[in-house]
Structure 1
Amino acid sequence: MKTFLAQIFAKYIVQKDKKWINNPVSTQEKILLDLIDRAKNTTFGKDHHFDQIKSYEDFKRLVPVQDYEGLRKYFDQVVEGKVDVLWPGKPIYLAKTSGTTSGTKYIPLSKESIPYHINSARNALLHYVNETGNANFLKGKMIFLQGSPILEEKKGLKFGRLSGIVAHYVPKYLQTNRMPSWETNCIEEWETKVDEVVRETIPENMTLISGIPPWLIMYFERLLKVSGKENIQNLFPELQLMVTGGVNYEPYREKVNQLIGRNIDCIQTYPASEGFIAYQDTQKKEDLLLLLNNGMFYEFIPVDEFHQDAPTRISIKDVEIGKDYVLIMNTNAGLWGYNIGDTVRFTSINPYRIVVSGRIKHFTSAFGEHVIAHEVEHALQKTLEIHKASVSEFTVAPQVNPVDGLPYHEWFVEFENYPNDLAEFAKELDLQMQKQNVYYQDLITGNILRNLVLTTVKKDAFQEYMKSIGKLGGQNKVPRLANDRSIADEFYVLNLTDKHN
């Protein structure tokens, strides 16, 4: 009955979505004016003359682009329990996130925004059901591993991780299938939690597994160690679908499929505390459908202009395919001109589809090259294909002051399957990087930089590093890129490099 009803409901949702997919610009313009009208009597709305805003041009003139620090005085008032600050009334939750410069951040979730977080996750699955006709995963057990659902309460507000908050909204029809148990989800210590998840799920018929790719790999490896099975397919023969988010799945796909023992369908998603932004709506493409009818108005600033005094600031109608933009959000939870720190690249404008290309704060540009995550991921993926190798994880950092020779980019790579020739692999990787970033190529050919240096690291080195800084598990992930040696030096301090060097 579940599978039959899911197929009917999936068809309805897909048809409903086509209305805004076919009218993207007018949908976004309507959302902006609706957001402005609803928030015009808030403290922020009065401070920024929302009553004078009649168009996007008015909005840009009156509302600046800001990050968490720029809006902190308003967030602090919200945390203190004041009403009508950024959005009418009080938020029903504050999602706790960790920032590199702001410490713990508190992102408001309103009664208007919460349904979009829940329904978007549901709709991602329904688009899959509609396209493939497969709803059999509903018959078995499904993991939705989240942060602890235990919430703090202060001054009439509930605080918690977004994943813990949404745990309270799992639909009743999925409750009987849901894994792990509530008690296990409440465990804070990550390795203990994974051990309990393994214990609970080994005897079950798992059909859907959801998590960020590094967690999936850690979970699968623990399963195989405990069960003694050759691969996950032998343990969970009915496993049909994975749902991932948080990082680009492509660098992990081969490793995950290897652990499973076969290729498996995967839905990539782009959820954030600020809003559910995009999901993969078809198995025929790897890019994500930008959700333009989710109570959020998006703006975009070209990455190469972001640090200028007056960068170009555009709406959806003016974006270009293949260009990297800093994503700016305005939401029905009260975020205004808010820079969430992510960069996106459009792969299509009919419909609007994106890939997450990196973090505006995560880049390598010691010499003005401004290498971003999408470039290093693509270069590595091409090189792995050529050399028939696979990796578990990697990160890149500059070496500005080497003991001898020219400066270089140093790649720390945890191989799953090593290439036959590491030197040739490094040479090919450097060539692929030059294809991805013309500024990097100019620095190499101009003898400002020498070719990259490949430093291999021990198995589980990245897990050890994350554990050493107290950020193992959950939604925590190692940055693909850094503009300093803070991460790189720790790999040497912790003795995580291996004998292949």
Structure 2
Amino acid sequence: MKKRIHDIDLFRKYPHDVQQELFQNLLHTAKGTEWGKKYGYGDTLSVREFQERVPISTYEDLFPYIERGLKGEQNILWPTKIDWYAKSSGTTNARSKYIPVSPESLEDCHYKGGKDMLSIYVNNYPDTKLFTGKGLSIGGSHRPSEYNAKVSCGDVSAVIMQNLPIWAEAMRTPPLKVALMDKWDEKIEKMVELTVNENVTSMSGVPTWTYLLFKRILEVTGKKDITEVWPNLELFTHGAVAFGPYRQLFKEIIPTDKMHYMEVYNASEGFFGIQDQRDTEDEMLLMLDYGVYYEFIPMDQFEAEQPTTLTLDQVEVGKNYALVISTNAGLWRYKIGDTIRFTSIDPYRIKISGRTKHFINAFGEEVIVENAEEAITRASQQTGAIITNFTAAPVFMESGKRGGHEWLIEFEKAPDNLARFTQVLDETLREINSDYDAKRQQDIALQEPIVHATQPGTFTNWLRHKGKLGGQNKVPRLSNSREYLEEIMQVNGLS
């Protein structure tokens, strides 16, 4: 672990050299693939030549190649044999995405990220007792592909768990056959049964699903909080959704100062970031030697037919960029769908600011997920509220009526005054987003937000209805249409 900290320090110090070497290795490795031959990877391309020759790709652009891989063809996008695909649909797409997981991406990206996470944690907390117990993780499930029985597809967490080395499997709980069960309700009951008597010292997962497990454990055991079940629990590594709105929720259910929280940026496409400093919230070191070459699209270029992309040495602190990656699994100049903001360039640290498809801009207000989460967090703090989930959508203008935003919020603990909560939510959005503030001036374009406090289980019911309980699935925070909000209301009898 100490040796790896030295390696991390090296890419902190020489980020551009590390990325340039990685870039050349990727192209050299893939030069004999169908894609590599098509774009002349054997010509020892410069980054500029690479950007000129190779188009920026969406999933739809790459799918014809990926589909052939799913049917058993090899050496199309990447030379080594690919038998695993991470099935990713987030929460919103009816059609699943199949992301190739090569042996290199599994070992040099996903597993390397997991090991680095432990190395950084131990370096920050040298007195840790993490390894005296087990790590609990809530995974998804996998099954043979509908295209080809020899190819397996599943949630990225399931792909990782299924391929763990023996030493890592011995350090985790529950057993693999339970962790990979596909029926969420049955999985939770079995996990409770098998883990309450274990010495759990760490956990990893999506905050929403982890919290549901905690609640069920307390219901079954009759304990007051999680410290009475797992007194040695000290670490929760979390990702997929911002932790800010959940921080108070976890502090109440794990009321101990020895509990630490660590943000990671781990997606189906790769492992990209790890919180490397103590006592920082949601700020992560961009991991530069995981077989991922990074480019960044400034958001004012995002809708352009041929957007300008920046390399790492061209980015600026405080600006939002759409992330573009080329990887050791054959994703070439791929728009992952996330937006990030650099908080530092020495070293390169980032925050996830949202999704390229998750925003509200019905009236030119340009509200992004990061804005919404900050406003929700501040409103909760000032009114004593604790939230479990939320989503928001526009209210479109009608004859004689102004537009606005409508929020569905599920509270674990209701605010002491919902009107005050709404006011703080609105005031915070106005403070941090000048476009929103301009549209709210004198209620000319936007009226005050409409906030509905929903019943417990509202969002779980919707995800169950969509067949998306557990794993990496999550509720879309924002949408520029009313589709999801109205569907959630309909499923729960709210409309």
**For the residues of structure 2 that align with 1:363 and 1:321, how far apart are their CA atoms?**
21
What is the alpha-carbon distance in structure 1 between the residues aligned to residue 325 and residue 93 of structure 2?
Answer: 19
**1:37-77 CA-partner distances (Å, limit 9, x unpaired):** 22122111122232345311111111111111011221122
The 8 Å contact of residues 89 and 95 in structure 2, kept in 1 or not, is answered as yes
- Residues 121 and 151 of structure 1, relative CA distance in 2, 3 Å threshold: farther
Give the counterpart letter for 1:189 in structure 2.
K
Which of the numbers 338, 343, 346 marks the counterpart of 1:342?
338
The answer on 1:114 being equivalent to 2:106 is: yes
* 1:124 pairs with 2:117: yes
The Cα shift of 1:191 comes to 1.0
Counterpart amino acid of residue 348 in structure 1: S
Partner of 2:277: helix, strand, or coil? coil
Shift in Å, 1:406? 1.0
The question of 1:293 aligning with 2:289 is answered yes
| Contact 2:88–2:96 (8 Å) recurs in 1 | yes
Change (3 A) 1:403 1:140: farther
State whether residues 276 and 284 of structure 2, in contact with CA within 8 Å, keep that contact through their aligned partners in structure 1: yes
Query: What is aligned with 2:48?
Result: 57
* Distance in 1 between residues matched to 2:276 and 2:409, nearest whole Å: 31
The alpha carbon displacement at 1:336 in A equals 0.5
2:426 maps to a residue whose letter is D
For the structure 1 residues 90 and 204, does the alpha-carbon distance in structure 2 shift closer, same or farther, using more than 3 Å as the test? closer
Secondary structure of 1:112's counterpart equals helix
Q: 1:407 aligns with which of 403, 414, 417?
A: 403
Residues 137-176 of structure 1 aligned to structure 2 (within 5 Å): 137-148=130-141, 154=148, 156-176=150-170
Letter in 1 for 2:120: H
Identity %: 36
Find the aligned partners of 1:460 and 1:38 in 2 and give their Cα distance.
Answer: 48
Instruction: Report which structure shows greater RCO (CA 8 Å, sep ≥6).
Output: 2
CA apart distance, 1:224:
0.8
Separation of aligned partners in 1, 2:22 and 2:168: 31
Q: Distance in 2 between the 1:342 and 1:190 partners? A: 27
Partner letter of residue 176 of structure 1?
A
Measured at CA, do residues 39 and 174 of structure 1 come closer, stay the same or move farther in structure 2, by a change above 3 Å?
A: closer
For residues 279 and 459 of structure 1, the distance between their equivalents in structure 2, rounded to whole angstroms, comes to 32
Q: Which residue of the partner structure matches residue 453 of structure 1? A: 450
Task: Count residues in correspondence.
Answer: 489
Task: Judge conservation of contact 1:301–1:314 (CA < 8 Å) in 2.
Answer: yes
Alignment partners' CA distance in 1, 2:15 and 2:420? 47
Correspondences of 1:3-402 after superposition (within 5 Å): 10-52=1-43, 54-98=45-89, 100=92, 103-115=95-107, 116-148=109-141, 154=148, 156-263=150-257, 264-286=259-281, 287-401=283-397
Residue 7 of structure 1 corresponds to: none
Question: Distance in 1 between the 2:395 and 2:100 partners?
Answer: 40
- Cα deviation for residue 328 of structure 1 reads 0.4
In structure 2, relative to structure 1, the CA distance for the partners of 1:348 and 1:207 (3 Å cut) is same
Q: Output the amino acid matched with 1:110.
A: S
CA RMSD of the aligned region, Å?
Answer: 2.0
1:484 aligns with 2:477: no
> Residues of 1 paired with 2:438 and 2:52: CA distance?
38
Distance in 2 (alpha carbons) for counterparts of 1:72 and 1:102: 15
Cα shift at 1:297: 0.3
2:56 maps to a residue whose letter is V
- Distance in 2, Cα, partners of 1:102 & 1:330: 26
On the 8 A contact 2:388/2:412 being kept in 1, the answer is yes
Contact residue 359 and residue 478 of structure 2 kept, 8 A: yes
| Structure 1 pair 411–363 and aligned structure 2 pair: CA distance change class (3 A) | same
* 1:238–1:151 CA distance, 2 compared to 1 (3 A): farther
Q: Return the match for 1:464 from 452, 461, 464.
A: 461
CA-CA distance at 1:248 after TM superposition: 1.1
